[in-house]
Amino acid sequence: MRVAKNIFYVLVLGLIITSCKKDDEVEMVSLNKAGDEYYFGEKVLMWASTEGEKEGMSYEWSANGGRFEGFRTQNLFENVWVAPTQVGQYQVTATAKKGKNTSTRTTTMNVTRYFFDHFQSPYTFIGNGWSQSNVRGGTTPVLFNSNNRQNSSIELASNRNNNSNTDANIRRLLNLAELKIPFSVRTKIGYKTFFKTGAPFTVRLLFNQPSRNPERAYIREIRWEIWPRNNPATQNNYQIRFETYTPATGTGTFTVGTFPAPYALTGPGLTAQSGRDPRFLFTDGVAKNITFSINAENVFIAHVEGVEWFRSDGIKNWLAEAKTRFPDFEDPVVREFQIQFPGKVAADTNPSILFLNSVYINNDGTILSDPI
């Protein structure tokens, strides 16, 4: 009988010890993120690093701004945070849970501007918004990514096929948030080794057709063409202008004339929309910063290497006339940023090679004049 009682006490004691056993401890060592500053709508990979037995561990994610992409990642150690469309500092929190034990970490997400890209990430051209056409070697440009922003770039060679008449381009839709006036766009751009003589590269902003009254004329494009190898002593090497388009008639025009044709982008410091200027003579392998902006007063402003080149009331006056005639005239909304560059001289010749160090876009009224 005594033996039976002892066995009973041992079993009871074992049950008590088992029931009192603590859940495995959980410690989140760090909450990690890709990058340290973000643009509107950027998708940011985040992941939690924890110590302890992972089996049976779950996670909860929360944020005071932005959102998480999809429900499938909510209980996993990694997640994708989508930045909000407003500058600010936001907090993302992850909590690891196992049984009754938890461990929590919070990190700050710094959203700094409408858009930027230094071409440092190997994922730049994998579902990240950039597209390109007629680029040699398929659809992926050569990426020289580096921890140093100054040394990072993408390089594109024209004509993936032997069609010497087809221009190449790289472009990005700007649809993560509406981009209205005021805005400022700066890109650091250059060419390498070969560039089709007598041909330009063109930096363009394309605009949406208004949703209301779609038959009316609207600003469809701002176009800045640069002939980087033309000698400014003897040849024109720039042209900068904007195009209006009338859907009702299917006509677009860059010429100066009566409404709805565009007004000239001329003003103090610039007497013509095209001409010669030494600052647009590019050297092989050396990039330059060019910026075009429209401020809150609808004044167009252009900078080269951080120095104001000219400003113009051309767009301001056109919009003023449009709104006088149509009080409900809609403000322009940018649709796409694009850089176009020429094809080869002939099928058996070397291609033009373009490279970009950075693209910046602001929509807070700040002019991106400082060179990078």
Q: State pLDDT tens for residues 169-187.
A: 899 999 989 999 999 999 9
Distance separating alpha carbons of residues 23 and 55, to the nearest angstrom: 12
Name the more confident of 160 and 244.
Answer: 244
Asked whether residue 357 carries a pLDDT value surpassing 70, the answer given is yes
- The segment(s) of the chain belonging to CATH 2.60.120.200 are 115-362
Distance separating alpha carbons of residues 340 and 248, to the nearest angstrom: 28
Distance separating alpha carbons of residues 202 and 354, to the nearest angstrom: 11
Write down the residue that tokens 């400003």 correspond to.
311
> Picking from 153-162, 170-179, 240-249, 266-275, which range would have the lowest pLDDT averaged per residue?
266-275
- The segment(s) of the chain belonging to CATH 2.60.40.10 are 27-113
Distance separating alpha carbons of residues 323 and 298, to the nearest angstrom: 13
Write down the residue that tokens 């003897």 correspond to.
234
pLDDT of residue 342: 87
Superfamily of domain 27-113 in the CATH hierarchy: Immunoglobulins (2.60.40.10)
pLDDT class for 190, splitting at 50, 70, 90? very high
Predicted TM-score of the model (pTM): 0.84
Q: Are 192 and 155 in contact (CB under 8 A)?
A: yes
Pick from 84, 80, 110, 83: which is nearest to 94 by CA? Answer: 80
Q: Which CATH number fits domain 115-362: 1.20.1070.10, 3.10.20.600, 2.60.120.200, 2.40.110.10?
A: 2.60.120.200
pLDDT of residue 247: 84
Q: What pLDDT digit, counting tens, does each position of 38-67 carry?
A: 999 998 999 999 887 767 788 999 999 999
pLDDT of residue 141: 63
Distance separating alpha carbons of residues 244 and 263, to the nearest angstrom: 10
- What value does the mean pLDDT take over residues 150-177? 77
Distance separating alpha carbons of residues 259 and 30, to the nearest angstrom: 61
Distance separating alpha carbons of residues 179 and 193, to the nearest angstrom: 35
As a whole number, the mean pLDDT across the chain is: 83
At 248, the amino acid letter reads A
- What value does the mean pLDDT take over residues 318-330? 90
Q: What pLDDT digit, counting tens, does each position of 260-270 carry?
A: 456 666 655 55
